[in-house]
Structure 1
Amino acid sequence: MTYCVAAKLNAGLVFLSDSRTNAGLDNISTFRKMIVYEKAGDRFMVLLSAGNLSISQSVREILQIEQLKDPEGGEPITIWNAKSMFDAARVLGSAIRRVHERDGDALRKADLDFNVALVLGGQIRGEAMRLFQVYSAGNFIEATDETPYFQLGESKYGKPVLDRVLTPETPLAEAAKCVLVSMDSTIKSNLSVGLPLDLVVYEADSFKTDKIVCIDHDNPYYQMMHNNWGRKLREVFDSIEDPVWDDAHTDIPIKMPAARHDMLKKISTPHEKLI
């Protein structure tokens, strides 16, 4: 399995992916799930992938050469000459459908699903940054101010911190920290996600970045974040008052709806405490 997350902020874009693939606890491998497409001064795009590894690798290869017919009769549209990120996402969708045409029947006969999911984000000169999630049918949706991030793969463990922290106004450094905490929470709870990680931070209107890093177990920032996050969570947990029974002294007693309280009175024994 895998976990990837990408966020679109006013200040830029943040992308993070793990690199673990496995077919069981005794068969774990490392494969990159992120690829960067850059033409300095003109466009900068990042692709994240999850799902069947053979499908995602095929899509990435075909994407380099995939073309769409220009409705205005110009040269075919590719990711390298697309005038918008929307058109680049269309080219990616076409690449997915091409792989499905080639391999779909064979996969079906082998009782395998055509399972792939991708996130494509970036900026092409002449328009604002955009972020898309692309599905296995080649269709896609775009990130909005209300939903400024996308996740792929094992999303449930890392989602709470994203929902609580990320907004379009979040600074890039803080957003990078947030997605790393999201990844760390996922790694803690799911053995199918693991280091090394690939992180890219892109500043709006730069069309390039020098903030690309591979994070392994020895990365000092990741180790500090991992240790502090666990410790701070425990401190916050310990600072919250324990629940108490109705007849005990507390500033914030636990209350129960009257009907529920009456029901418990009927089924309890004289020796039981009621809440």
Structure 2
Amino acid sequence: MTYCVGIATGEGLVFAADTRTNASHDNVRVHRKLHVFEWPGERAFVIMSAGNLATTQLTLARLRADVDDGAGRNLRRFTHLHEVVAYVGEVLAQSQLRPPDEENADSTEADGPDFGATLLLGGQIAGEAPGLYMLYSIGNAIQASPETPYLQIGETKYGKPILDRLAHPDLPLEDAARLALLSLDATMRSNISVGMPLDLALLRADALKVEPTLRLEADSLLYTELRSRWQHGLRQAVGMLPRFRWEPKAEP
């Protein structure tokens, strides 16, 4: 499993992802799920992936190959971000196609492995505003909005409540980054299939370059202090909640 989250604010975009792809008792594997494509001063994109690892790796390889080969349609040739999203969606859908199995021609999709994958794609092209999108396995997409300024893929339910309460378009970019990490931390506390290390990237509006980027290990000072202060703050907040009528009043 995996968990990736993107947050769109007026100051830019935040991307955060775990790196765990397998979590059996004797087989814990790590793969990067946050990928940067940038041409500073011209355009910058971040793609995060969840789902079948073979499909996402093939999709990313095809995107890079199209750029390297100067293909007629590649990440550098489009004028608008929505065109990039449509192109990446097509590559994603094509990467899930498998040749027919003549020996099992009567088998259904349910009989075989699941090659599905989803992506989060965010970025900016010079002259346009930044945008954040979620691409489904069939290639269609939805965009983050002021009403819903964050998008998630993978194991989303544990990290969603904090985003519902605190994510909004006016959030400073660094606060949004801290919020994304706390969303990941909440997920890891409840689901072993999401795990360290974590990757974080920021794309400031009009910077047209993805920076800074961080990889946080379990013992990283920033991460340990972040989760410690958050837990301490939550405990203090619980102590400040209204008292039941049978309780003594809380001391000021």
Instruction: Specify if TM > 0.5.
Output: yes
One-letter amino acid matched to 1:32: R
Q: Which stretches in structure 1 are left out of the alignment for 5+ residues?
A: 68-74, 252-275
Distance in 1, Cα, partners of 2:60 & 2:207: 24
> What secondary structure, in the 3-state scheme, does the structure 1 residue paired with 2:133 have?
strand
Tell me the distance in 1 between the aligned counterparts of 2:61 and 2:247: 66
Structure of greater Rg: 1
**Number of residue-to-residue matches in the alignment:** 241
Q: Which amino acid aligns with 1:128?
A: A
Is contact 1:104-1:114 (8 Å) kept? Answer: no
Q: CA deviation at 1:120?
A: 0.4
1:45 Cα deviation after fit: 0.2
Q: Secondary structure of the equivalent of 1:170?
A: coil
Q: 2:83 aligned to 87, 95, 118, which one?
A: 87
- 1:230–1:85: structure 2 CA closer, same or farther, 3 Å change rule? same
- 1:7 corresponding residue in structure 2: 7
Match of 1:98 in 2: 94
Residue equivalent to 2:113 = 112
In structure 2, what is the Cα distance between the partners aligned to 1:108 and 1:6?
31
Change (3 A) 1:82 1:103: farther
> CA-atom RMSD, angstroms?
2.2
Match of 2:156 in 1: 155
Would you say the 8 A contact 1:22–1:29 is kept in 2? yes
Structure 1 segments of 4+ aligned residues over 6 angstroms from their partners: 104-107
Inter-CA distance 54–220: structure 2 relative to 1 (3 Å threshold): same
**1:19, 1:194 within 8 Å by CA — same for their partners in 2?**
yes
Question: Which structure: greater strand fraction?
Answer: 2
- The structure whose RCO (Cα within 8 Å, separation 6+) is larger is 2
Give the corresponding residue for 2:39: 39
User: What residue number does 1:54 align with?
Assistant: 54
Separation in 1, partners of 2:126, 2:212:
20
Structure 1 residue 174, shift from structure 2 partner: 0.7
Residue type matched to 1:29 in 2? R
Match of 2:123 in 1: 122
Q: Is the 8 A contact 2:16 2:180 kept in 1?
A: yes
1:218 deviation in Å?
2.4
Work out whether residues 66 and 94 of structure 1, in 8 Å CA contact, stay in contact via their aligned partners in 2. Answer: no
Please, what TM-score do these two structures have when normalized by structure 2? 0.88
Q: 1:188 to 1:109 in 2, by over 3 A?
A: closer
Name the counterpart of 1:200: 201
CA distance in 1, matches of 2:96, 2:18: 25
TM-score (norm 1): 0.81
Q: Is 2:231 aligned against 1:230?
A: yes
- Paired with 1:51 and 1:103, the residues of 2 have a C-alpha distance of 20
Q: Structure 2 stretches of 5 or more lacking a match?
A: none
How far the C-alpha of 1:109 sits from its partner, in A, is: 7.8
Quote the Cα distance in structure 2 between the aligned partners of 1:147 and 1:226. Answer: 25
